[in-house]
Amino acid sequence: MEIDRIVRVDMTAGEIREERAPERWRYLGGRALGARILLEETDPAIHPLHPAATLAICPGFLGGTAVTTSGRTSFVFKSPLTGGIKEANVGGQLGHRLARLGIKALLITGASPSGWQRLDIDSAGIRLRPAPDLAGRSNYDLHRELVGEAAGFRAAATIGPAGEHRMAAASVAVTDPEGRPTRHAARGGPGAVMGAKGLKAIVVDDTGAPRTIPGLRKDDFRQQVTSFSKLVLEDPRTRNLSTVGTAGVVRFVNRDTIQSMPTRNHRFGTWEHAHTISGQHIEELGASRGGKMLPCMAGCIIKCAILFNDEHGNHVTTALEFETIALLGSNLEIGPADAVAELDRLCDDIGLDTIEIGNAIGVAMEAGVLPWGDWDGTKRLLEEVRAGTPLGRIIGNGTVHTARTYGIDRVPAVKGQGLPAWEPRTLKGMGITYATSPQGADHTAGMVTARGVNAETLVKQSRHEQLVMMAIDSAGVCQFTNALPADIAAFASARFDIPCDDEAVLRMAREAIDAEREFNRRAGFTRADDRLPRWLREEPLHLPDGPAVFDIPDALVDAVWT
């Protein structure tokens, strides 16, 4: 089966049309396809929330297949946070369902002139219709109604109140295998873009569609699926993730020699109470509360999603990940795990990127809006965001906006986007990625955690990891599979019956990153945007072997893509 339908939805005219993907897009998927579409079809100088701006929703080119974790989806758009191109990558059930219906890309343009709309997609067709009954409703409520007991064949992508308010930190909630809105296309403000178009919900039902899409070379593809799954299951990193999730790294990053546990608006790198929000502590709580590890999408064999219940065994969240724990936890000096889990649920319900909102609240705390560690006050702030009050709009529009409002000059952001937890003063390769990725401060753009190597080596590693992540995001698989370019090449070769090797995969990735960089250049970005905040070069973290700042020379940073 060919995944070749391009579905164009004009929200202004209320029109939907379909076309076959052009040949130049045939072997692209996910982030790479979205980058090419945006460069070709959206004016980079346009306001991100203008009706003519495109929101591209693209499953990877392995979507709908039996490849483990291959159901990830790329939301690609001009970001209201960065002003450049952004991809928000999400798991959940959406990607597989779109791919099984043969949809390669869903392109949303225009803006509804007559109130909130919903888009329904199934084997009978695609329909856009008024949805006044969905207005003002939050994500848990929406997914109970739109998916409910039909989670086995239906998935939704919805915006909560933050998206309705067009807040730059707004996410899009995607249904997980249990029918809950715990998977989010979060970074960069896709919820604001979807909200500006008047699109409240997308509901995809793949009843009657093929359950899996085989490769054109079926036997080779099946063999590759089996061998790759075996490699993933045998990887010690998979066993760790399947036990404690990404929260398991807390013990590692909170050490004096690493200091990558952001605390008090990234002022410190360790937190004395970090053990109360660690994956190991969460595992202990789960033993008596019915907690367990779950897949974030059908077909995932890693199962790194933490099902977190309260002390009475009631569900709180299934997305208590390291970044959330760090930015809503230690960064605000809030714990223990129960407190952070409740904040995470609120963010999922309202539709907020936990990284961006954790940074924004950290800046607000630095400004004296709340005292450090004020959990009740933080919950009240999130409710202000839900209600769209003036204070809520300040926080909901992200880190930089909050800093400007309160006159804070120590801003944890790159290209307008809040810093992830991975500390660029001690893990300097991460700083190179934050500076040089077209995505801005995004740890998933290219993870480099090596220490004790020279700057030139870190530059090479950042470049390579950014290329690998582009390839992974374009295939639609999860980074936690640790897929290599050779793995992706083998899948592409059997999927499309074409010659493909790791060099071809890396070339594709480089062309896609060049497309993102060209979009940003036309949007007005210069090398001055490829810089970390000054305070990261001047304000040291004190490690046992001496003070650490981000000290990679600008000339080396500029050499990443030359």
Of 161, 157, 203, nearest in space to 182 by CA? 157
Q: Is residue 532 part of a domain?
A: no
Q: Is residue 461 part of a domain?
A: no
- The beta-carbon contacts of 464-468 under 8 Å, at least 24 apart in sequence, are 465/429, 465/433, 466/433, 466/436, 466/437, 466/513, 467/506, 467/509, 467/510, 467/513, 468/506, 468/509
Q: Is residue 270 part of a domain?
A: no
Contacts of 562 (CB under 8 A, 6+ apart): none
Q: What is the pLDDT of residue 1?
A: 73
Domain range for 164: 5-214
Q: Is residue 416 part of a domain?
A: no
- Report DSSP letters for 194-247, one per residue: HHHTTEEEEEEE-TTS-SSPPPSSHHHHHHHHHHHHHHHHH-HHHHHHHHH-GG
For 281-333, the pLDDT digits (tens) are 999 999 999 999 999 999 999 999 999 999 999 999 998 999 999 999 999 99
Give the position of tokens 């758009």: 77
Q: Is residue 264 part of a domain?
A: no
| Number of domains present in the structure of the chain | 1
- The helix (H) or strand (E) run that includes residue 100 is helix 94-100
Q: Is residue 322 part of a domain?
A: no
Q: What is the pLDDT of residue 64?
A: 97
User: Is 366 buried (19+), middle (13-18) or exposed (0-12) by CB count in 10 A?
Assistant: buried
Write out residues in the chain with pLDDT < 70, as ranges. Answer: none
CATH number of the CATH domain containing 192 = 3.60.9.10
For 15-29, the pLDDT digits (tens) are 999 999 999 999 999
Global pTM reads: 0.98
Strand-pairing partners, residue 50, are none
Q: Is residue 10 part of a domain?
A: yes
Q: What is the pLDDT of residue 520?
A: 98
End-to-end alpha carbon distance in the chain: 39
Say which DSSP state 471 is in.
Answer: H
Q: Is residue 14 part of a domain?
A: yes
